[in-house]
Amino acid sequence: MNGPQLSKTERVLRIFTDVHPGEGSTALLMFANVFLILCAYYFIKPLREGWIAVSDIGGLSKMEVKAYSSFVQSVLLLFIVGWYGRLASRWDRSTLITRSTLFCISNMLIFWFLQPDYFFEALPVSGVVFYLWVGMFGVFVVAQFWTFCADVYTDERGKRMLPLIAVGATSGAAAGSWIVSSLVDSGLVATEMLLVVATLPLLVSIGLTRVVDRRTPMDTPAAAGADTKDEGLDFLLDGARLVLVSRFLLAAALVTLLTNWVNTNGENLLFRVVQETLATQATEQGVTDSRAVLEFTRDGTTAFYGNFFFWVNIVALLLQSLVASRLLKFGGFASIMLILPVVALMSYSIMALLPILAIVKMMKIAENATDYSINNTARHVLWLPVSSEMKFRGKPAIDTLYVRMGDGLAAITVLVGVHLIAMSTRSFFVFNVALVLLWIVFAIMLIREHRKAVAANTVQD
Percent of the chain, pLDDT > 70?
A: 77
CA angle 410, 413, 417 (to 5 degrees): 150
| Least confident window among 4-18, 171-185, 319-333, 431-445 | 4-18
Identify the band that residue 230 occupies on the pLDDT scale cut at 50, 70 and 90.
very low
Between CA 83 and CA 76 the distance in angstroms is: 11
pLDDT of residue 82: 63
Residue 1 clears pLDDT 80, i.e. is over it:
no
Global model pTM greater than 0.85: no
Q: What is the pLDDT of residues 106-133, one digit of tens each?
A: 988 888 888 766 665 655 567 778 877 8
Reference 256, options 79, 63, 442, 428; nearest CA is 442
Q: What is the pLDDT of residues 32-65, one digit of tens each?
A: 999 999 999 888 887 777 676 666 665 666 667 6
Contact between 115 and 192 (Cβ < 8 Å): yes
pLDDT of residue 184: 67
User: In CATH, what class is 20-219+229-460?
Assistant: mainly alpha
| Least confident window among 236-240, 364-368, 392-396, 420-424 | 236-240
Per-domain boundaries in the chain? 20-219+229-460
Residue 257 clears pLDDT 90, i.e. is over it:
yes
pLDDT of residue 423: 86
Reference 97, options 88, 106, 110; nearest CA is 88
